[in-house]
Amino acid sequence: MDERGKFTRQEILSQPESWASALEVLNKQHVKIQEISQKEKYEQVIFTGCGSTYYLSLAAATLFQEMTGLPSRALPASELWLYPRSSYCDCDRTLLIAISRSGETTETLRACDTFSTRDRGSLLTMVCFPDSQLARKGTLNLIFPSGMEKSVAQTRAFSTLYLGVVGLSTLWSGRVDLFNKIDTLPSIGQGLITNYHSMTEQIGKNLQLDRIFFLGSGARYGLACELNLKMKEMSLTYSEAFHFLEFRHGPMSMVTSDSLIIGLISEENSSHEFSVLDDIRNLGGHVLSIGESYTDISFLSGVEEVFRNILYLPFGQMIAYERSMAKGLNPDHPNNLDSVVKLS
Ligand code: F1P
């Protein structure tokens, strides 16, 4: 029996159940989220994490700013820890939102300690493992145990924490009406995973492809970065992520008939994004478009665009998993990596 990848496969396929549990956590924490949102007037919000959770922070910052109007940005935890003065100015009251699957990554813990000693605002944490150090550090700690996983490369943890950010953003902005609409995401996600499983398997098994690019803009850029990291961690493939229209400004030179470009298509700017994919096709590159409709993989969810972004994730994860398995690798144990980076 081939034991390779059994944890990763189970974690990818079980994400919709984990999302449902995350929504229950958010419902229970609803009042506390609104209390901290009114605790003081923050002038800036910084999201932070490492690797996958830094890319999550990139996606989170764009979404949080779009929904709340608060200036929001993302920084790797190591930057906040080692370069605090160039990371955030002392002039602004700051909300730091630290995201970590394990809650034990040294850089993230040190970044939070540095922030707290500078007394520049409040700390909110988002973690999966309840007994972790980070889960005890925040003014508010949002804990999503359904995202806990055994694999090194984050899949279920990432999408569950991302859904946590979607709920936090919606509740923070007082849009409870919108929040009540996102409880359809688990069933929509389950249907998509089932319907497109064979397509992603076929793409993943195409080892003729020797380089893979992920394109996404707005809140989808951070997700493109994360799917790029999955492709590297699980399948050891040369891959990169770019903002959609940036691809023409140099990286398009890398397109060959053995390239695959995966485009995370938005609704509001789809015409510009489809145009980039047309250019790539004209160069002989393979293209896979993912989005709400008129795409190779179409959600047809009927959900507000701001809530749909989580639906892009399982497809990129499944393609990376299948490619890893086709290459004879073990996606549960990526080359050179541990599930938590702890520094002495
Ligand atoms: C983050 C991390 C990532 C890495 C991999 C394992 O840990 O180490 O840096 O990309 O996904 O997880 P955490 O702080 O989210 O636990």
**Is pLDDT above 90 for 309?**
yes
CA–CA gap between residue 213 and residue 293 (Å, rounded): 21
Question: Nearest-CA neighbor of 239 among 220, 258, 219, 266?
Answer: 258
Question: Nearest-CA neighbor of 187 among 318, 26, 60, 23?
Answer: 23
pLDDT one-digit tens code per residue, 81-98: 999 888 888 777 999 999
pLDDT of 70:
95
Domain boundaries of the chain, sorted by first residue: 6-180, 185-326
Higher pLDDT, 86 or 297: 297
Topology alike, domains 6-180 and 185-326:
yes
User: Mean per-residue pLDDT for 8-15?
Assistant: 97
Mutate to test the pocket of ligand 1, among 7, 101, 144, 227 (most ligand atoms within 8 A of CB): 101
pLDDT of 312:
98
CA–CA gap between residue 177 and residue 80 (Å, rounded): 35
Question: Nearest-CA neighbor of 137 among 177, 97, 194?
Answer: 97
Assign 173 a pLDDT band (cuts: 50, 70, 90): very high
pLDDT one-digit tens code per residue, 247-276: 999 999 999 999 999 999 999 999 999 999
pLDDT one-digit tens code per residue, 46-71: 999 999 999 999 999 999 999 999 99
Q: What is the mean pLDDT of the chain?
A: 95
Q: So what's the architecture of 6-180 in CATH?
A: 3-Layer(aba) Sandwich (3.40)
pLDDT one-digit tens code per residue, 212-249: 999 999 999 999 999 999 999 999 999 999 999 999 99
User: Mean per-residue pLDDT for 134-151?
Assistant: 96
Cβ contact 208:182 at 8 Å:
no
**Is pLDDT above 90 for 337?**
no
Report whether residue 53 contacts ligand 1, using a CB cutoff of 6 Å: yes
pLDDT of 90:
74
CATH (one of 3.40.50.10490, 3.40.190.10, 3.10.580.10, 3.10.129.10) for 185-326 = 3.40.50.10490
Report whether residue 100 contacts ligand 1, using a CB cutoff of 6 Å: yes
CA angle 53-143-184, nearest 5°?
A: 85
pLDDT of 123:
95
pLDDT of 179:
84
Minimum CA distance residue for ligand 1 atom 8: 340
Atom of ligand 1 nearest to the CA of 102: 16
Atom of ligand 1 nearest to the CA of 153: 11
**How far away, in angstroms, is 117 Cα from ligand 1 center?**
25
What stretch of H or E contains 19? helix 15-39
pLDDT of 1:
76
Report whether residue 101 contacts ligand 1, using a CB cutoff of 6 Å: yes
**How far away, in angstroms, is 25 Cα from ligand 1 center?**
22
CA–CA gap between residue 231 and residue 212 (Å, rounded): 8
- Across 107-161, the runs of DSSP E, i.e. the strands, are 121-127, 140-143
User: Mean per-residue pLDDT for 2-30?
Assistant: 95
pLDDT of 120:
82
What stretch of H or E contains 288? strand 286-291
Report whether residue 50 contacts ligand 1, using a CB cutoff of 6 Å: yes
Assign 176 a pLDDT band (cuts: 50, 70, 90): confident
Question: Nearest-CA neighbor of 42 among 81, 79, 69?
Answer: 69
pLDDT of 136:
96
CA–CA gap between residue 98 and residue 77 (Å, rounded): 8
Report whether residue 76 contacts ligand 1, using a CB cutoff of 6 Å: no
Higher pLDDT, 18 or 182: 18
The three-state secondary structure class of 297 is strand
